[in-house]
A and B are shown apart, each in its own frame.
Chain A
Amino acid sequence: TQLLEQSPQFLSIQEGENLTVYCNSSSVFSSLQWYRQEPGEGPVLLVTVVTGGEVKKLKRLTFQFGDARKDSSLHITAAQPGDTGLYLCAGPSGSGNTGKLIFGQGTTLQVKP
């Protein structure tokens, strides 16, 4: 059974601080995605990482896919209150290219001004 474990589950920091969220599995994934969900809304896709060792940047967010494609991390530089939300990693179940994703439990981030 494919599982994704995220850590930490909760993170409360001050504006301007840096943080890293981890997404780990014992299984190999063909790709991993990161979503952000704000209260009362559905998750919104931030990025997809595909190649082992790949690093992608989205403004102050840096995403990395592990060399063995079993883990990923999200690093936020100089966090802002607008970064507050639930961060979810997800990977395709089985061969991919379907709507069946396995989601981590999520990391709730609160950035205080």
Chain B
Amino acid sequence: KAGVTQTPRYLIKTRGQQVTLSCSPISGHRSVSWYQQTPGQGLQFLFEYFSETQRNKGNFPGRFSGRQFSNSRSEMNVSTLELGDSALYLCASSKGQGAPYGELFFGEGSRLTVL
């Protein structure tokens, strides 16, 4: 079955701009989580959506937001971009229920560079 699809794969923005990233989860998965990966901080949890509701949130400023649609597809938005937002943004899907250990299936990521 198809895996997790993230678009765009690469993008370059300038400080102050905003960006929207998209994620299509594995068919049947209702949970979508977003992570930021940087060389210095590693993988850090941004937020999780389950059935269109934010279920968990990490310690990121309000400039980072997300949403989930009725077909489980998710978007995340970063407003007023800063240089430090340059990172690989990873989306992961899971069943969310019935799978007891929270095993995640990751997309290939969206590489954001802020100039």
Contacts and interface: CB of A to CB of B under 8 A. Distances in A.
B106 A101 contact: no
B102 A92 contact: yes
Consensus secondary structure, chain A interface:
loop
Could you say which of A93, A99, A100, A103 has the most chain B C-beta atoms within 10 Å of its C-beta? A99
Consensus secondary structure, chain B interface:
strand
B104 to A, nearest CB: 6
A42 interface: yes
Interface residues of B, number: 30
Contact of B90 (A42, A90, A92): A42
Contacts of A40: 108
B16 interface: no
A92 B4 CA distance: 20
Interface string A95-113: 0111111111110000000
A97 B99 CA distance: 7
Interface string B71-98: 0000000000000000000101010110
Interface in B39-97: 42-45, 48, 50, 55-56, 58, 90, 92, 94, 96-97
Interface of A: 30-31, 33, 35, 40-45, 48, 50, 88, 90, 92-93, 96-106
